[in-house]
Amino acid sequence: MEIIDAIILGIVQGLTEFLPVSSSGHLELGKAILGDNSMPEDSLLFTVVLHFATAISTMVVFRKDIGDIIKGILKFQWNEDMQFLAKIAISMIPAVIIGYNYESELAELFGGNIQLVGFMLFLTAFLLYLADKAQNTNKDVSFKNALVIGFAQAIAMLPGVSRSGATISTSVLLGNDKTKAARFSFLMVVPLIFGKIAKDILSGELSYDNSNFTTLSIGFIAAFVSGLFACTLMIKLVKRSKLSYFAIYCIIVGFIAITYASMN
């Protein structure tokens, strides 16, 4: 992979991570168009690195929220911050179970399966359309809701299913406030990504022998910088704009992906 390709893919990851349009789907489509011939494992490594970068950018943007949660934990009380952290922990359960048991199968899907990406973008569009019809409320995410949203996040491990789109849509369909749903969606993935990275490093599953450190580093920086910009700007767009706009976009990109796959 060339440096310019890493920059492009990093920017794509940073911009699409916070919009309900599937960053993984855009990455797979981008790698296919740019002619990335990486093995599935190497392709997944690059994808994980970019997700790691946007996770850090999320922490920077939500630093006040994270700081409040940490302060709440240090009080050793079952307060609102501690409950929020517990809900995030519950939401991680489905993804951890599926990721642990089907990791190799998931890795194979990140090898340029553009047709799958196209159909999963259609699924994302359908979820966004349903969520757009739901009424907004002031309801907080409950413990039961957190588990259901966690299942949506697990499904979003498939390339082409937007994680933020699936989790925000599920949360809204459960009757939760859109603003609170977006906040929960963006924060719930941070410990999951860090946990995945730590597991792979400790187990030796992430092999760097055949990896291009320069490419990975540049991709990381591009995703982090664009993620900072996108997380600040796009969260406002998710709150103010109708999700149906993103549904239309996903349908268009889905058709492009399927058409591209049929021509190659």
- pLDDT tens track for 197-223: 777 777 666 665 555 778 888 989 999
Q: Domains of the chain: which residue ranges?
A: 3-262
- Per residue in 42-92, pLDDT tens? 566 777 788 889 889 999 999 988 888 888 778 777 888 889 999 999 999
Max mean pLDDT range (8-17, 99-108, 155-164): 155-164
- Per residue in 80-126, pLDDT tens? 888 999 999 999 999 889 988 887 788 777 766 788 889 999 999 99
Which pLDDT belongs to residue 39? 42
Which pLDDT belongs to residue 204? 66
pLDDT higher than threshold 60 for residue 176: yes
pLDDT higher than threshold 90 for residue 9: no
The structure's pTM equals 0.82
Given a contact cutoff of 8 angstroms between Cβ atoms, the answer to whether 222 and 14 are in contact is yes
pLDDT higher than threshold 50 for residue 40: no
User: Average pLDDT, whole number, for the chain?
Assistant: 83
